[in-house]
Each structure stands twice: as C-alpha cells, then as structure tokens.
Structure 1
Amino acid sequence: MATTLSVRAPRGLLLHLLTFAVVLTAWTLVSASDVVSPAYLAPSPLEVWDAFVRANSYHPIGGGVDRVVRGEEGYFLWEHLVVSLRRIGIGLGIAVVVGVPLGLAMGLFRSFGALLGPYVDFLRSIPPLAYIGFLVAWFGIYDTSKVWLLVLAAFPPITLATINGVRGVREDQLNAVRTLGASQRQVITHVLLPATLPDILSGLRVAVGFAWTTVVAAELVNGLPGIGGLAYLSGTQNKIALSIACILVIGFTAIALDAVLRISEKTLAPWRGKA
C-alpha cells in the first residue's frame, strides 16, 4: 500500500508539471501570434513575471533613475495581498460568528428555520456586487463597507451548511444523550456541534471561494492597498501584465487557502466519510 502511494505521488506531480508546461506553451504561442490584437492585450508569461517582480521591488519611473517608487501604488504586491486577506479574514470571522449559531437555531427549531429560511436564500441568490452601492452609502468608502460586502458573500453558505449539518444528525442520538441527563447546552456542545463540524468546514470552504470572487468588487471603491483593487486599477490603466499577475496571485492564494482548509477538515473532523 505504501509503495503504491509513493508511486502515485510522483506520477501526480509529473502530470501537474506537464499540464503546467502545456498551459505556458499555449499561452506563449497565443501572445506571440496575431490572435489577439493589439499585442499588449495578450502579454506573454515572461512579461507577466516581469510585472510581478516589478510590483515587489523598488524601481525607477519616468525614464529616469532619480525617482524610485515602491512596488505599485506605493505598496509591494504582497502587501496588497495581505490587506485583502485581512479584509477577507474579518468578513469570514463575522460570517462564522453570526452564521453558525443562526444555522444551529434554524436547524434545531423547524418553525424558526421556516421563518428565516427564505431570507437566507434571498441573500444567497443576489450577486454581492449588487450591494456595493448602498454599502458605500451607509458605511463610506473605507474598509467597513468592504468587510460587510464580504460578510454578505460568506454568510449564506456557512449558515446553510450548518443547517444541513444539524438536520443530518439522527434524532435518536439526541434523545439518547437527553435520557442520560444531558442539558440542552451539553447536547449542543457534545453532540450537535461535533456532528455538524464537517458540514460547517465544508461551508467555510465554499464561503472562502465566494469571498475571493467578491474581493475585486469589494475593492472597486478606494480599494488600495488591496490585491483586488490593484487588479482593477491596472486593468483600467492598460497594465494588462500587472492585472494578470494580480489575478494569478488571487487564484494561487485561493488554492493554497482551500488546501489549508482541507487539511484542517481532515484534522478536526477525521471521522468524516467513515462508516
């Protein structure tokens, strides 16, 4: 068994490397051809790499060496990323603090769930970009409006996942601990939450994905520093190589976060998927 796994790992890595090489080759060929015109709309991988390096270093501007700027818009690219991650982290934190207890209550009390369920579905069905206008009007152009937009993106999947997790717990399990003298608080903390944890973590993974797809919208207004704001601004300024570099950073960071959440799910809920 161990030998089989050890053989599969190099094969999987080799397959990923070959796929990556094919993608880079195709990208290079497209950028070098006349398929997309003008040429600056299809920068090559090397140009994107140069934009990435430039965004993470001090460099001269204006054709002279006497004026040196720091990264892009006064910040290195990784600093833009950290600011966006902080906004997403706060938004996700609020969504978890509100969504998990609400999902537990809606799952436990069917009448309460039937009352609030349509409102959660309503929030889930609206694109987060639709909220940005009145959020800016309510909270201003600074971080508060951005965080609340991310909360609205992350809140529904966390709440719905929690509801599904609660409703997946068998009633006889709850009745068994109640007959042993457990209080309602003990039922929730010792049975309901552990049984619902895998679903909550799955909902959190979905919420992280929604938050990343929303970060550019959240940073459309006064989004600098911020990786989404930089991606949008560079696109409007025809800095396509920089915009693609930002998009790639967003994508790779999302993949890394999802991998961390998958590892956390296996660590915190190792019984998931086991009979």
Structure 2
Amino acid sequence: MRFGSRARGLAVRAGSLLVLLVLWWAVTATKVVDAQFLPGPHAVWEAFTRANSWHQLAPGVPREVRGEQNYFLWEHLIASLQRIGIGAGAAVLLGPPVGFALGTSRVVSAIVEPYLNFLRMLPPLGYIGLLIVWFGIGDTSKDWLLFLAAFPPVVIATVAGVQGVSRDRINAARSLGANRLQVITRVLFPSTLPEIIGGVRVAVGFAWTTVVAAELNNGIPGIGGLAYLAGQQLNTPLTMACIIVIGLTALALDAAIKGVGALVVPWKGKA
C-alpha cells in the first residue's frame, strides 16, 4: 500500500509537470507573450546545453568558448554550493550551541535575543554593501552573507526546541543524579533535535535564496552570478535555465536534509 501511494504521488507530480510544460509551450508557440520576456522550453534547453558545452563564440567565428563566462553551468553550480557549504555550514555548526545557551539561560537570552531578532529582520541586500566594504568583493563577503542569513533560523529553532521540553523530564533526570551537562546531552539535545533539523532546513533554504544577492558582485563562477549577468545582458533563455537549476537544486538540498533528519530522528511523529 505504501509503494502504491508513493507511485500515485509520483504520477501526480509527473502529470502536473507535463501539464505545465505543455501550457508553457502553448503560450510561447502562439506568441501570446514576446519571446524576449518568456522564451519557449526549446530555447531554454538550448541555453542550458550551450552553457554546458564548448561552442562557437559567434556564428562564423572559428574560436570556441567554454560554457558561459569560461565555466560550464555545473561548475557555476558547484561554486555556489561551496559558498553555501561554508556559510550555511558554519551556521549549522554554531547555531545549536548558541540556541542552547539562549534556551537555558535567561540572562544570555535577555542580552543576545534582541540582536538576533534585529539580524533576522534585516534583508540580505541591506547589508551586502557593508560586508563588501569590510571583507572585499571576494568569497569572504559572500560566505559571511550566507552565514548571517542562515544563522538566526537555526538558533531560533534550537531555542524553541529547548523551551518546548517538558520540565518533568528535566526534573526526572536531575532526580536520578544527572548533572547539567548530562541533562543537556541526554535529555535536551535528543528532544530538541527534530526542531534543529527543521531549523536547518529553513536556514539552508533561506541561504540558497540569498545566493543571487551574495553573487551580485564578482559572482563568477556562481549560478546566482550567472543568472544576474544573463539578466543584465537580456539573455532570457539563459536566465530561465539558471533559475530552473537553482530551483531544482533547492529541492534536492531540502530532500537531502529531510532524509538525513529521518535517519537521525526516526522517532519523530511516532507515539
């Protein structure tokens, strides 16, 4: 029954994707929308294959160039994933300890939480210029931007998880002789882990949506930088190809984190 349910779910998703492609093709084929604003699926596919292959610089010019901006599209994607790995990865490592400190200490929470909420409310484009002034236009400013985008969701999810643990469980552990460290590692951490995984999903997703902002300046190689540059050059097919790759990568990242969460916290959702 579970296999049949999954098969039906995949069939529904495949059918909806097919309908979307047919509608997309119909709108562009009938020229309801100008191709400059909405290129057809074939044009986007050609831009995708061109970005992943050697091709002539221009018709009649024998010189061949490598992908787009001298990098294949998958190389742009890997460069962005590396930045996500550094920035969001640091947030995933540092966020839970800070969240535990805020969740277990009222003094620390009173001092740090206002600044955390202030940072959480700031749009990334609001401080990217300041980061460039501080760290230059290299990868350091991009890594910091992605870290600052991903850090608050992990901390807030951890705090919510810690504060949601029943006091009876904590008191029971203490009555059995557990010290503060043992309460954190044996009671609070396992109970908070599902919320931490959820916070990581939100954080990585938010950091990935920030990748274009991070790569506005000197973002080549980078899938966000390529999408921005293609848009400036009115290369709409390549822009849409980049957007599709960014979206599919986001789905893959979320599915991977969700899968890891299912392995790490298999008891979630079970009585």
Aligned residue identity for 1:45:
P
Partner of 1:35: 32
Partner of 2:14: 17
2-side partners of 1:274 and 1:162: how far apart? 21
- The TM-score, its normalising length taken from structure 2, stands at 0.96
> Which of 241, 244, 259 is the equivalent residue of 1:248?
244
> Which of 250, 260, 275 is the equivalent residue of 2:256?
260
2-side partners of 1:104 and 1:116: how far apart? 12
Partner of 1:238: 234
Aligned residue identity for 1:179:
S
> Which of 136, 159, 165 is the equivalent residue of 1:163?
159
Aligned residue identity for 2:23:
A
2-side partners of 1:174 and 1:10: how far apart? 43
Superposed counterparts of 1:92-241, under 5 Å:
92-241=88-237
After superposing on structure 2, the runs of 4+ consecutive aligned residues of structure 1 that deviate more than 4 Å are none
2-side partners of 1:110 and 1:26: how far apart? 55
Partner of 2:54: 58
Deviation at 1:225, TM superposition (A): 0.2
Aligned residue identity for 1:134:
L
Aligned residue identity for 1:54:
R
Deviation at 1:136, TM superposition (A): 0.4
User: Which ranges of structure 1 fall in alignment gaps of 5 or more residues?
Assistant: none
Q: Is the counterpart of residue 70 in structure 1 residue 66 in structure 2?
A: yes
SS in structure 1 opposite 2:199?
Answer: helix
- The TM-score, its normalising length taken from structure 1, stands at 0.95
Give CA-to-partner distance per residue, 1:64-101, whole Å, 9 cap, x none.
35201111101110000001001011111211232211
SS in structure 2 opposite 1:69?
Answer: strand
User: Which ranges of structure 2 fall in alignment gaps of 5 or more residues?
Assistant: none
Deviation at 1:170, TM superposition (A): 1.2
Deviation at 1:162, TM superposition (A): 0.3
Superposed counterparts of 1:76-91, under 5 Å:
76-91=72-87
1-side partners of 2:145 and 2:3: how far apart? 44
1-side partners of 2:231 and 2:189: how far apart? 45
1-side partners of 2:176 and 2:212: how far apart? 52
2-side partners of 1:108 and 1:96: how far apart? 19
Deviation at 1:214, TM superposition (A): 0.3
* Count of equivalent residues: 271
1-side partners of 2:13 and 2:133: how far apart? 46
Deviation at 1:50, TM superposition (A): 0.7
Give CA-to-partner distance per residue, 1:179-199, whole Å, 9 cap, x none.
222222222112211111110
> Which of 5, 8, 11 is the equivalent residue of 2:5?
8
Name whichever of 16-25 and 113-122 sits farther off: 113-122
Give CA-to-partner distance per residue, 1:125-145, whole Å, 9 cap, x none.
111111111000000000000
2-side partners of 1:43 and 1:81: how far apart? 22
SS in structure 1 opposite 2:216?
Answer: coil
2-side partners of 1:176 and 1:140: how far apart? 52
